[in-house]
Structure 1
Amino acid sequence: MVQVKSPRKLIEVALPLDDINVAAAREKSIRHGHPSTLHLWWARRPLAAARAVLFAQLVNDPGYQRELGYGVNKKEAEIKREKLFQIIRDLVKWENTNNEEVLNRAREAIWESWRETCHLNRNHPQAAELFNPDKLPAFHDPFAGGGAIPLEAQRLGLESYASDLNPVAVMINKAMIEIPPKFAGQPPVGPLPEGEKQQKMMENWAGAKGLAEDVRRYGHWMREEAFKRIGHLYPKVAITPEMVSERPDLKAYEGEELTVIAWLWARTVKSPNPAFGDVDVPLVRSFVLSSKKGKEAWVEPVIKDNNYRFEVRMGLQPAGAIEGTVKRTGATCIMSQTAMPFKYVREEGKAGRMGERLMAIVAEGTRGRVYLSPTDEMIQVARSAQPDWKPEHKLPVNPRDFKTPNYGLNTFGDLFTPRQLVALTTFSDLVQEAREKAIADAKADGLPNDGQGLAQGGSGATAYGEAVAVYLAFVIEQVANHSSTVCGWNSANTQMRSVFARQAIPMTWDYAESNIFCSSSGSFNNLFERMIKGFVALGCGHPGIAQQADAAVQDISSHKVISTDPPYYDNIGYADLSDFFYVWMRRALRGVYPSLFATMAVPKAEELVATPYRHGGRDKAETFFMDGMTRAIHNMAEKSHPSFPTTIYYAFKQSETQDGSTTSTGWVTFLEAVIQAGFSIDGTWPVRTEKQGRVIGNGTNALASSVVLVCRKRETNAESISRRDFQRQLREEMPEALETMIGGQTGQTPIAPVDLAQAAIGPGMAIYSKYEAVLNQDGTRMSVHDALVLINRAITEYLSPDSGSFDADTQFCSSWFEQYGWSAGQFGEADTLARAKGTSVDGVKAAGVAESGSGKVRLLKWSEYESDWDPTSDARTPVWEACHQMIRRLNNQGESAAGESLAKMPEKGEAIRQLAYHLYTLCERKKWAEEARAYNELIGSWHAIVAASHDVGHKNEQRGLDF
């Protein structure tokens, strides 16, 4: 078999990781114009990270010619690599998402690399099939989920394929990559809403603009039609003279009718006290409605005549008022103060005795929110709603992520009020009516009438009407996420919370029922407008195809570039969660995609999640995950295009890294699956893709980073090596890989110390995983866990001042700092350590980095160093002193001043940087946050510091020439 000549890709060597992380973190706060507003998906990858990873996966590293024995030298390669880094820096900026100039530079670099690869393989027997210089390989994501990666592959110029077992994920990907290119440039066909003026004849309908406009027009019609049918269930609230007499603050609104934003309800159970056995007492976390300064409001339960009523009060809740009736330990009856343990509440709920009571009304006034006490009219209107359908599908018995079945809310239909069910079913039915209208209007507008729908691959009038229906159905999903009894009220920002504030369905005690016909958060209009803005970030160039397929057996990946974001062990149960949306999506779109919505619920059995309740225990769940993930990844390894590495995201939890060792169950299991599947791992890049502090469920840690694994298919004739040989190769190969990561000699942006420990695992795992096995002395196979321990040890040894590349004073300071930090220690101990390192206490004192007296020795902090220090006149300048002087100047005077110092001692640059990495790692391990931050900031500013030092050098050279 002829070997494919496959140049190393940029992602296998180096990345401007800090720039990618900054852009990814920024993107998480963008809410308008982001394609994620089309439909919610859990733990979606930022577009910036997906775009950067794909680009680096597709372009050749400039140093690949050296590997083949010709071309650029090391320094030239780093200069060319920096140019690719600059493309990535521009590419990841949110404002450049649709910047064609930036995108074209990236596409040109991809094409250039592809043609180089084709040239190298021009004599390969499969050259015509695999290496066509006029056509880029297609892309495939077999765990497509929220669609970020396929969308970015399409944006970079590749034909994009997306597949997933989950029908909801498939529909999201169809909406992202498949439908928009079908109708790119199509002007709208629907009639304008009444009162709107016709656009100019030369309106630009490029890309998905026309489709988005039609979704807007038919969505407006749908909303108006729904109001005609069920608007009576959402009445305004009249401010009567009687209200004003009790609440003078309402005087400005007397005689007006205000639009209700939300009705706030409290769940209830029967009082456990026999004296009040007929009273339904409230379960409320907090009676505070608004905690905004100057606009405080709260609810007081007024107890009278063996019952109670709710009254809204303005101002701060006074001391002694009932703050709430539910705490972490259980609930309390407001009538008798009798404790109501959660066991009692659960029994009441399961017996069908849990009810609800209107607690307050939130209305929109000209000067902000208006909080009103409940009225009989509002209660009667809510009770009058009579839904003719509700989803009867059972909620899973998953105690970690689904809490409502504990309290008798067992079906998805139980999560909605009757009024919410009427609204959602009405809108679902209107999707079908809008579809028929759009088809008729498209025919009248001249679109071909081929009778073929989207499921048949159609692109005429029928398919266009169905395309509009898909996006309108997505609005129903968004409304459902904001119209459920799981939606709480946020008193801090006086808005309602959505169902999926977390990747779970929790139990709520008091909840907010939104008015879907208002314009505030959670309403149809608000969610609809956000969704329409999301169209602008969709790619409409190259075709895209989304299909339902099991990753373990699909054949779509054949000869394609693969990047994917598979399930993470047991972190998120996508199938169970997405049933919440599936029940509504199926009702609205079953006629459009009958085979996709053939099942009553999302397929569960094949989903690759280590869920103990589904598989009969944790051990069986882990075995299921390991076997299934290995099959799925093996399928990728066998089918992926041989010229490109495969990139696989793993959502890494910070808590999984302890004492410098990354050895959690999920992480190790995942690495084992990748290696057993036939891949070698060439890189592990930590991309911070999640907000700090996010939670996915009670007792579950936040997903802090995605580690991107860079994988190549392992050679079929790979041999085994001994543990000793593995350790030798780590010592020989890790230093150069680490040097490249921390920036080389050119001032290239280094990986921040916070990310180095994870990124540096890549080169070590590349050594471990390219062999059939690494064998211990007794002949047993070395585990991934043990390999990680040795890799981490090699990283520590390289960064340590004891590695032999540092002066004796620095070695002493490092060891003393590790033991005492900035505190003082005994002179005798310091003297012994100094002698062992080949220096003396007097020597380090003379160097200006320590003080000694009264039998004590203490290292000086950088703030205590001499302010007029000049390395050119310092007779004794250990790297330790140079590093901390740089920190002092950076903190006090900025990057330019630090650059001036570096210009006077350029030979110390590499050692300073290496020491900063080592000290960051040490401080992080000891939880010295302030010190760790200083070293991380020095590395983060290194690129600018080096540039400033070069400017100083050039100026000095010019002065010499002028002289």
Structure 2
Amino acid sequence: MRKFPTDMEAQVWEWVRGRRCLGLKFRRQQVIQGFIVDFYCAEKRLALELDGDIHLQQADYDRERDALLRAAGVTVVRLRNEQVSREELERVLSRPHPQPLSINGEGSKSSEDELGLDAGGCGATAYGDAVAVYLGFAINKGASLWSTITSWMSDRGAFRETFARQAIPMVWDYAESNPFSNSGGNLETAIDKGKMAIEFLPIQSNAKTIQADASNQSISQRKVVSTDPPYYDNIGYADLSDFFYVWLRRSLRSIYPNLFATMAVPKAEELVATPYRHGSKVKAEQFFLTGMGRAIHNLAEQAHPAFPVTIYYAFKASKTHSTPLSIHGEGSGVRLETSNTGWETFLQAIINAGFAIVGTWPMRTELANRMIGSGTNALASSIVLVCQKRPAHADTISRRDFQRQLRAEMPEALEAMIGISSTPLSIHGEGPGVRSLPPIAPVDLAQAAIGPGMGIYSQYAAVLNQDGTAMSVHDALVMINREITDYLSPDAGNADGDTLFCSAWFDQYGWKSGAFGEADTLARAKGTSVEGVKTAGVVEAGGGKVRLFTWKEYPADWNPENDTRMPVWEALHHFILQLNEGGESAAGRLLAHIPDKAEAVRQLAYHLYTLCERHGWADDARGYNELITSWGNIVSESFNAGQVGSMGDLFGGV
């Protein structure tokens, strides 16, 4: 900024340089506490700031900034550009200014004692304000414990707070706690929760919390940025915040009058796609896309060019629709496609902002016992998008070349995600063997696996359709998801005919019965027969009907060593049976007997999970997801059991 001062800054510098103003020595563009002030006089510990029109839009940011500077012992004087003249400058600088108490104890302690937290104080008044703030937090915690929406967790013998999830639920029978008792849910509990948080706060370094509009903020200039933005229409943060805001406002309005100036939390500018605020879903989506685009573009312009920007996303809400296969050049029939409006809109905003997505990876952030995770296939992870600014001279690519590149690069990337990583146990001091790291869970795979594909798509200025129009993110995701489906499909590998039949029959009928004639035709096409599949013990056939057995119907006394016809389908569902009936140790003992089935079983589990998700069969999908998420421990248990097969076979030759 030294090279490009504003006209007013250049004029003021001519007035103050070389002690020309009241004999005071000024430096320009001085860095103080990580902030750059326009002019600084060290002998008076005074910062002079010249405010143009942009400062009308960032008043809250300036107020927070000034408070932090005052806390560092610096007096801040602000002048609007239209106020500045040589005479006005000398008049303002010649009058006495209260000296804030610096970190070295300089200045007037009495004046500092009168400054509250909002004014950047750190004396007696500010200390009292801080105590009041923490007590206000305790009252808020209590509000979540003492409402008529509090319920009882019988398995833990404890209260479930109002916000067990990011919504206010309907509760038929609430659990009433007494804030003045000695039992759980009292006021002391609420205070202790805040005390525990304070005790774990890091004190080795300073941090700043600044409220600003993401679309025009400047605090991320040349910074390493990691952000967790709103998830489309998943959570109405502002609406939910009213529950706490009304109590905080009563407690803390005198301390933070500007922060609590409104009766309720401001909502109009909140960046979520809430239809009732905007009149329709279409308008809500456009509002989100436009606002997110501005915010992400601002990040892209300001972020440090040497480092990627990481963006967290943890929202899963898909819808399934049918797409004629013929439009993809695949002949007749119908393909189930899964799309996600929020996910697509979010990705579109990132790409429109000038970012290229160079990777996506799940990070375990969600509690297994959270309310939304109970009995559902909720995401176990947040998806971390790793982004870098796309070069201005990026090329374009045709749709056909994009598809060719996907087919060349996606299989290796998918194998890295769903494959088992292994290291010798001896390096951990645990003796010979192999330590296994769990693969990505099927519930997370759909979003994590788009990283390599979107990395290809977003590195180009555009992917062009045959008519010259740019391919949308939606169409790119359809193609990427198709590559994922094709990779996981048993037809893409060397699966046995029985498994191919079962997979196709399951896709069509699930666990329901279908006509024998149809099953016979399908079985012949897959290189097997209905009688053969029946002999394998995976279907029931009779009375002109054919039905797949569920894993619960598989015999508990089954012995793989006596099974002369064991398709991968059968092995997979025996694994699920053992995991549910005997836990990971039982599944590990089974793996020790049939390590040669491991790779095919895992791949089939991913494929069947995908089918269940698309059909909306959540209960069935859960079994396949749990098997994969437990796979690392199952492998370890197989070594404890004493592996019967070949160790090399277990890991596909690793």
- TM over 0.5, yes or no? yes
Partner of 2:362: 685
Of 626, 632, 637, 1:948 maps to 637
1:454 offset after TM fit, Å?
A: 4.0
Distance, in Å, in 2 between the alignment partners of 1:885 and 1:508 is 39
Q: Does 1:712 align with 2:387?
A: yes
Partner of 2:404: 728
Partner of 2:24: none
> Does the 8 Å contact 1:579/1:602 carry over to 2?
yes
Q: Residues 548 and 931 (structure 1 numbering): CA distance in 2 closer, same or farther, change over 3 Å?
A: closer
The alignment-based identity, stated in percent, is: 58
Q: Does 1:776 align with 2:437?
A: no
Q: Residues 804 and 955 (structure 1 numbering): CA distance in 2 closer, same or farther, change over 3 Å?
A: closer
Distance, in Å, in 2 between the alignment partners of 1:166 and 1:581 is 25
Distance, in Å, in 2 between the alignment partners of 1:831 and 1:535 is 68
Partner of 2:573: 884
1:831 offset after TM fit, Å?
A: 3.4
Letter in 2 for 1:685: P
Partner of 2:482: 793
> Does the 8 Å contact 2:139/2:190 carry over to 1?
no
Q: Residues 706 and 654 (structure 1 numbering): CA distance in 2 closer, same or farther, change over 3 Å?
A: farther
Map Cα deviations across residues 103-135 of structure 1 (whole Å, 9 max, x no partner). Answer: xxxxxxxxxxxxxxxxxxxxxxxxxxxxxxxxx
Partner of 1:910: 599
Q: What are the within-5 Å matches in structure 2 for residues 812-961 of structure 1?
A: 812-822=501-511, 825-845=514-534, 847-850=536-539, 857-862=546-551, 863-864=553-554, 867=557, 869-871=559-561, 876-928=565-617, 931-951=620-640
Q: What are the within-5 Å matches in structure 2 for residues 463-612 of structure 1?
A: 463-478=126-141, 524-525=187-188, 527-575=190-238, 578=241, 581-582=244-245, 585=248, 588-589=251-252, 592-593=255-256, 596=259, 602-604=265-267, 606-611=269-274
Map Cα deviations across residues 603-626 of structure 1 (whole Å, 9 max, x no partner). Answer: 555432345565566544433322
Letter in 2 for 1:708: I
1:774 offset after TM fit, Å?
A: 1.9
Letter in 2 for 1:869: N
Distance, in Å, in 2 between the alignment partners of 1:597 and 1:562 is 28
> Does the 8 Å contact 2:578/2:586 carry over to 1?
yes
Of 476, 490, 495, 1:806 maps to 495
Map Cα deviations across residues 688-726 of structure 1 (whole Å, 9 max, x no partner). Answer: 4694459xxxxxx99977753413124213222222222
Unaligned stretches of 5+ in structure 2? Answer: 1-33, 35-57, 73-100, 323-335, 423-435, 648-654
Partner of 1:626: 289
Partner of 2:97: none
Distance, in Å, in 2 between the alignment partners of 1:573 and 1:166 is 26
1:515 offset after TM fit, Å?
A: 8.4
Letter in 2 for 1:915: L
1:917 offset after TM fit, Å?
A: 1.6
1:947 offset after TM fit, Å?
A: 1.9
Q: Residues 901 and 672 (structure 1 numbering): CA distance in 2 closer, same or farther, change over 3 Å?
A: same
Distance, in Å, in 1 between the alignment partners of 2:303 and 2:464 is 29
Distance, in Å, in 2 between the alignment partners of 1:449 and 1:678 is 49
> Does the 8 Å contact 1:626/1:673 carry over to 2?
yes
Q: What are the within-5 Å matches in structure 2 for residues 117-156 of structure 1?
A: none
Distance, in Å, in 2 between the alignment partners of 1:842 and 1:491 is 53
Secondary structure of 1:710's match?
strand
Distance, in Å, in 1 between the alignment partners of 2:178 and 2:578 is 57
Partner of 1:667: 343
Distance, in Å, in 2 between the alignment partners of 1:927 and 1:635 is 39
1:630 offset after TM fit, Å?
A: 0.9
Map Cα deviations across residues 298-350 of structure 1 (whole Å, 9 max, x no partner). Answer: xxxxxxxxxxxxxxxxxxxxxxxxxxxxxxxxxxxxxxxxxxxxxxxxxxxxx
> Does the 8 Å contact 1:654/1:703 carry over to 2?
no
Secondary structure of 2:289's match?
helix
Partner of 2:453: 764
Of 407, 411, 418, 1:742 maps to 418
1:913 offset after TM fit, Å?
A: 0.7
> Does the 8 Å contact 1:721/1:773 carry over to 2?
yes
Q: Residues 955 and 502 (structure 1 numbering): CA distance in 2 closer, same or farther, change over 3 Å?
A: closer
Letter in 2 for 1:640: A
Q: Residues 705 and 785 (structure 1 numbering): CA distance in 2 closer, same or farther, change over 3 Å?
A: farther
Distance, in Å, in 1 between the alignment partners of 2:170 and 2:520 is 63
Secondary structure of 1:539's match?
coil
> Does the 8 Å contact 2:320/2:614 carry over to 1?
no
> Does the 8 Å contact 2:596/2:646 carry over to 1?
no
Map Cα deviations across residues 372-421 of structure 1 (whole Å, 9 max, x no partner). Answer: xxxxxxxxxxxxxxxxxxxxxxxxxxxxxxxxxxxxxxxxxxxxxxxxxx
Letter in 2 for 1:470: V
> Does the 8 Å contact 2:377/2:618 carry over to 1?
no
Distance, in Å, in 2 between the alignment partners of 1:942 and 1:703 is 19
Distance, in Å, in 2 between the alignment partners of 1:482 and 1:878 is 53
1:580 offset after TM fit, Å?
A: 6.0
Letter in 1 for 2:478: V
1:599 offset after TM fit, Å?
A: 6.7
Secondary structure of 1:712's match?
strand
Map Cα deviations across residues 728-750 of structure 1 (whole Å, 9 max, x no partner). Answer: 22222222222222233634202
> Does the 8 Å contact 2:593/2:644 carry over to 1?
no
Distance, in Å, in 1 between the alignment partners of 2:514 and 2:167 is 51
Q: Residues 870 and 542 (structure 1 numbering): CA distance in 2 closer, same or farther, change over 3 Å?
A: same
> Does the 8 Å contact 1:611/1:621 carry over to 2?
yes
Distance, in Å, in 2 between the alignment partners of 1:511 and 1:847 is 52
Q: Residues 786 and 942 (structure 1 numbering): CA distance in 2 closer, same or farther, change over 3 Å?
A: same
Distance, in Å, in 2 between the alignment partners of 1:956 and 1:509 is 55
1:915 offset after TM fit, Å?
A: 0.9
Map Cα deviations across residues 138-186 of structure 1 (whole Å, 9 max, x no partner). Answer: 9xxxxxxxxxxxxxxxxxxxxxxxxxx999xx99xxxxxx9xx99xxxx
Q: Residues 540 and 658 (structure 1 numbering): CA distance in 2 closer, same or farther, change over 3 Å?
A: farther
> Does the 8 Å contact 1:649/1:706 carry over to 2?
no
> Does the 8 Å contact 2:151/2:175 carry over to 1?
no
Q: What are the within-5 Å matches in structure 2 for residues 397-408 of structure 1?
A: none
Letter in 1 for 2:406: L
Q: Residues 450 and 721 (structure 1 numbering): CA distance in 2 closer, same or farther, change over 3 Å?
A: same
Letter in 1 for 2:416: T
Question: Structure 1 length as normaliser, TM-score?
Answer: 0.45
Letter in 1 for 2:224: V
1:768 offset after TM fit, Å?
A: 2.3
Letter in 2 for 1:725: D
Map Cα deviations across residues 456-479 of structure 1 (whole Å, 9 max, x no partner). Answer: 655555543332232133345456
> Does the 8 Å contact 2:380/2:443 carry over to 1?
no
Aligned-residue CA RMSD (Å): 4.9
Q: What are the within-5 Å matches in structure 2 for residues 297-316 of structure 1?
A: none
Distance, in Å, in 2 between the alignment partners of 1:726 and 1:457 is 55
> Does the 8 Å contact 1:661/1:788 carry over to 2?
no
Letter in 1 for 2:362: W
Question: Structure 2 length as normaliser, TM-score?
Answer: 0.64
